[in-house]
Amino acid sequence: MSVRLTSSPKGERLNFTMFLTGRSISVLMSSVYTFAVGLYVLKMTGSSLSFAITLSLQIIPTVLIGPFAGILADRFSKKIIVVLTDTFNGLLFITLFIISTGGFTLFEIYTATLLLSISQALYNVCIDSAVPNIVSKDNIIRLNSIGKIVDSAAIIISPGLGGVLYAVMNIRFFVFWNGMAFLLSTLTECLIDFRLYYTPMSQKLKLDLRRDFVAGINYIRKTDWIKSTLLNFLVVNFFSALCYSVPIPYILNNTFHLSSKAYGIVQCFTPFGMILGAMLTRKVTGSLPYKRLMMITGVLFSACLFPLGMLPALALHPSSQLIVPYYSFLLACIGFISALIDIPFINNFQTRVPENIRGRSLSISISIVKVFTPIGYILSGSIISIIPAFYLPLCGGILLLLFYIAIHINTIRHALP
C-alpha cells in the first residue's frame, strides 16, 4: 500500500508499512474465524443465548483485564508485549487445531474465545497507546484512518470468504489458518520501531497496581472531555449489543433463513461503510467540534436501529432479493457512523493524553465503555427467547433517540431558527 506521509523519515515509513501489513493479515484471518465460529455456534445450537455467550466472552476480558493491561503498557516494553501476545494467539489456535480432531464442542469454543480475548485485551491497549511512538503527531490520525480502512477491507473480504469456505471446509481449518496468520503478523511486528518518537519520562516509579490504577481513574475524573465521551460510548455500545449485534444475525439466520453466502454478503457492507467513514473522518473532524460530532453520530445511529426491525415486523416471508439489499444498505450506514465514532475517540486519547498515563486512561475508559456490553448481549439473547427478535431494534432505536434528545436538548434548541 502506497501511503504519503507528512515529513516522514525512512523509519516512520517502515513502521507505517509493517503496522498496516501485520494488522491486515491478522484482522483478515481473525475475521474469518470470528464469522465462522459465530455461524457455527448459531447453526449448531440454534440458540440466540449461546450465540450471545460467545460474543460476551470476547468482551468480558476487556472489561476485567483492560485496566491492568493499560498499567503494563505504561510500565513495560510495548513491543515485547505485542509480539508475545500475537505469538500466544498463534500457538493457541494451532494447539486447538491439533487436539480437536472430531470438531469443536461449545466448551472448546468458549475456552479458546476467552483466552484469545484476554490476550487481545492486552495487545489492543499496547498497540493503540504505542501509535504516537510509531509515527509523528501529524500522521497519527492518518494511521488510525488507514488502519480502519485496512480493518474494514479485511472484514469485507472475510464474511464472503467465510460464507463460502464454511460450506466447503471443516471448521478446524479456520482455526489452523487463523493461528498461522497470527504467527505471520508477529514477524511484521518485530520490524516496527516502537520507540521512534518515544519521549522518556523524567520520573518512573516502581510498579504498583493499586496506585497506578487509581492514578488512571483520577486522570479520567478530572478530564471533562473524557467523561462526556465515555457516556456517549457507553450508551451506544449497550444499545448496539442489545439491539444490533445479537438480533440482526438471529433475524437473518433464524428468522429469514438466509444462506451462508447471502449472510456473508450482507455482513460485508458494515466494513464497506466503515471504509467510507474512515476516508471522511479527517475532513469531518476538522469541520465539527468533537462534542457536536458525538451528538450527530449518536442520533444517526439510533435512526439506523429502528428500520432494522421494520422488515421482519411488516413482512413475514420477504424474498432474499429484498432482504439482502435492504439490510446491506442499513449495515453500511451503521459502519459509516461507527467509523466517525471510533476514530476520533482513539485519536483524542493518542494526541491529548500524556505518554506516562495514556495506556491506563485508554484501557480504563474502554473497560468502562464495554462494561454493559456483555450485559446487553446476554439480555438480548434472553429476550429473543421470549419475544420476536425484531422488537429489540424497533424499541431500542426509539429509546436511544429519546436519550440523545434529552441530553442534548439545549444544543438542539440553539440550533433551531
Question: Which residue segments constitute the domains of the chain, with CATH numbers given?
Answer: 10-196+206-415 (1.20.1250.20)
pLDDT for residue 320 is more than 70: yes
pLDDT of residue 88: 92
- What share of the chain has pLDDT > 70, as a percent? 83
Higher-confidence residue: 354 or 83? 83
pLDDT of residue 162: 63
pLDDT for residue 317 is more than 80: no
Higher-confidence residue: 57 or 16? 16
pLDDT of residue 48: 64
Q: For residue 139, which of 274, 20, 312, 317 has the smallest C-alpha distance? A: 20
Q: Which three cell numbers stand for residue 160?
A: 464472503
Q: How many CA atoms lie within 13 A of 51 on its CB side?
A: 30
Degrees (nearest 5) of the Cα angle 315, 319, 321?
A: 125
pLDDT of residue 163: 63
pTM for this structure? 0.70
pLDDT for residue 389 is more than 90: no
Q: Which three cell numbers stand for residue 182?
A: 497470527
Highest mean pLDDT (candidates 21-25, 58-62, 259-263, 276-280): 276-280
Ranking 63-72, 84-93, 204-213 by mean pLDDT, the lowest is 204-213
Average pLDDT over residues 394-400: 90
pLDDT for residue 228 is more than 60: yes
- Tens of pLDDT, residue by residue over 67-78, are 787 888 888 888
pLDDT of residue 136: 83
Q: Which three cell numbers stand for residue 77?
A: 516494553
- Tens of pLDDT, residue by residue over 337-367, are 988 888 888 888 888 888 778 888 888 888 8
Cα–Cα distance, 377 to 245 (Å, whole number): 8
Q: Are 18 and 192 in contact (CB under 8 A)?
A: yes
pLDDT of residue 332: 92
Mean pLDDT, all residues of the chain: 80
- What share of the chain has pLDDT > 90, as a percent? 6
Cα–Cα distance, 276 to 337 (Å, whole number): 10
Higher-confidence residue: 336 or 29? 336
Per-residue pLDDT band at 165 (split at 50, 70, 90): low
Higher-confidence residue: 317 or 85? 85
Average pLDDT over residues 152-168: 66
pLDDT for residue 58 is more than 70: no
Q: Are 230 and 369 in contact (CB under 8 A)?
A: yes
Ranking 46-55, 271-280, 372-381 by mean pLDDT, the lowest is 46-55
Burial of 406 (0-12, 13-18, 19+ CB in 10 A): exposed
pLDDT for residue 368 is more than 70: yes
Cα–Cα distance, 45 to 39 (Å, whole number): 10
- Tens of pLDDT, residue by residue over 188-199, are 889 888 888 766
Q: Which three cell numbers stand for residue 346?
A: 482513539
Q: Which three cell numbers stand for residue 176?
A: 489452523
Ranking 120-124, 156-160, 263-267 by mean pLDDT, the lowest is 156-160
pLDDT for residue 330 is more than 90: yes
